[in-house]
Structure 1
Amino acid sequence: MTDRFTVGATAAEAGALGILVVDDERLIVELLLRSLSQRGYRAQGVGSAEAAKARVREDPDIAVVLTDVRMPGQDGLALAEDLLRERPEMSALEVVLLTGAATTDVALAALRARSFDLVQKPLRLAEVALVVERALASSRQRREGATRIAEVEARIQAAETERARLSEHLAASAVRLDDAESALAASRRMRGDLLAVISHEMRTPLIPILGFSEILSASPALRPEEVRDFGRLIHDGADRLLWLIEAALDIVALDHGRGLGVPVAEPSDRLLARVAARMGRAAAASGVALLTNAAPQHFVAGDLRLLESALANLVDNAIKASAGGTPVELGCTGGPSGGTVLLVRDRGPGLPDGLRDQLGTPFLQADMSKTRAWPGAGLGLALAGRVAAAHGGRLDLRPRPDGGTEARIELPAPAAGG
């Protein structure tokens, strides 16, 4: 059997996005190609995963791949992972898996492979056509969105170039030069933060929300314990997304001189107990013990919601940096001149090189991979630093002599009569 089957595109279809059918069964490939071509789609087919990868490299207009799950050599799940790994949005690709055994395990594997949909055999051509139509629409929308972002970036770059040119003519005026540099820095920061949120931080929690909700809606025969487990995972993803949104909004408000509420004083042990309760589930999931150490007679004064959020983000970073079986300590001590120091200590690998210089920059990590050396450092540190500064204090990260990191929110003493 040859390894490629092609239905030629008409002149009117030459610029259209294409579909690639992958199956080692020639009759299935030919059936799908004929069905898709009759509906006006530009379709072609191959008989193996290796041929599919080569064809996708050759033809950037391929926007949807329909592949059988079970094939000799590399299977459809591994093919989906290879095709989608680090694929740019400008050439977005959706993978639809075809299977004769749509079990929960297969559905979960398809979700992990980031496939678009799962179609069960025996194939119904009308159903396949509907899924292909949705997949093409998704790929087209992602490509158009990436194009718009690229256009915006080009315009921003052009604006930055123009600002740089103008700044040379404004050197005589320090005030106007400072204004231009501030506008340029704000533009760069806004672009970098927005792209980081869209590409990683905000999309990651959506994966379990969308994926497991789709499984729940499409699998009426799930066991009750599976439904509860999927519901918990959806809730965890939504809770993480809400946390990110609230932290981002607090950062924006604090950057604009807003967001700090009326200061309230309460015993430090109550504040630390709330943070420990809030982070208890995450700590337990990582096998990390949370230890609190604060005297009830010591009071903390300030915006308690923001202080709690800042501490929770520091604890979240500490949990992620800690190995299972090691503790994370929360403490509160007196600072110089009657101030207060809120502490979070871990016994992780310590501070990576260059982190201190970037403190306060949201999404500061250049390496967002699963193997990065400092998981979680970014939005939480940016928020904690701003909360400390809004209270007249500062955030300090210190290496511990026995290994690990001590994060300190140092707050000044309350003003007299405050």
Structure 2
Amino acid sequence: MSPRQRLRLILVLGSLIAVGPLTIDMYLPALPAIGDDFATSSAAVQLTLTGTLVGLALGQLLIGPLSDAVGRRKPLIAGTALHVVASVLCALAPSIAVLGALRVVQGLGAAAAAVIAMAVVRDLFSGTAFAQVLSRLLLVMGAAPVLAPTLGSELLRWTQWRGVFAALAVFGVLLMLVAVFGLRETLPPARRQRGGVVSTARLYRSLLRDRPFVGLVLVAGLAMASIFAYVSGSSFVLQEQHDLDEQQFGFAFGAGAIGLIAATQANVRLLRRYSPQRILASALLVGTVAGLVLLGIAATGLGGLPALLAALWVVLAAAGLALPNAPAVALTRHGEAAGTASALLGSVQFGIGAVAAPMVGVLGNGAVAMALVVAGGMASALVVLHLVVRPAQLDAPEPDAEPLAVAVH
């Protein structure tokens, strides 16, 4: 695959995988407004975020094995269509309960893009090459968390929160066009899994018996939990506790996401000198220390908002180093079932995130509550890495794989 073809593939997959972050983040500036509109608590509003994460988790468990059996394109197109329909219905939701239920369906649709984009990368690359391509992919998809709250806040200048979901529906339609015209099938019939439910169950059982794989999946999920704790709590902490308006919140949130993106790109250079396992261990150590500093700042108020944002930036940057490498090492171990392995990985990430998001609200929705969950996620990931994965004992990564097919038109 030429550099130009690789760049085009990254842009196509990045646009597909961006639907998840946009679905999660674009309505964040509107969370307080949604609570006011439905006269409900902030914890109830945060459950709409949890609903999306639950849908993303369940959807990946279903779509991953399906894509291993029938190929990548059909599940992707069907899932994207479901996302469009759910987005339209979210814009018309009459109550917070209905909105929460529809957000589950919206997450189910978004799961198709998330798991299949990862599986396509694993279809074509492995080892260090996988981590490098994934880091580049995170640059493209990382623009979504940067732009989403800002786009949402700008939309709120002209429309109510329902207009945000209408915009997501339009994006979903564009995404379908990308899937139909921009991506070829990367899983030929000869490499597809057969056997239906029984075969799928055997695949999951085989994956769950691989201790390092399970540990790496948990590590990725716990690191993601730190991010979702920030996503869930930041709008309330920054807008209500620190009096930022919707536009200021969008810029502050975007600054944190820039730190995450910068780290993913630094990861490409680091991989030229260090193994993914070593980078992962170092990133989690830095993230844990920064999380504890964040907790201290939140509890004491030392340094005010600038110090709080700086500590959050370091945590997010550490996550930006951890998130490409944990999946790269995990999926390299199971290239024969990339869709199913990607599904389990993504499902656990969003499943743990679904638990972490409402925990911030349960603990009080303040800076201390957010910092507790952020620091807890990073510290737990570090412990699991060393007690379960044991990176020093992992097999050496596979040699870089040559592309198996050209995935873009």
TM-score range normalised by the length of the shorter chain: under 0.3
Structure with the larger strand share = 1
Say which one has the larger Rg: 1
Higher relative contact order (CA 8 A, sep 6+): 2
Structure with the larger helix share = 2
TM superposition score normalised by structure 2: 0.27
TM superposition score normalised by structure 1: 0.27
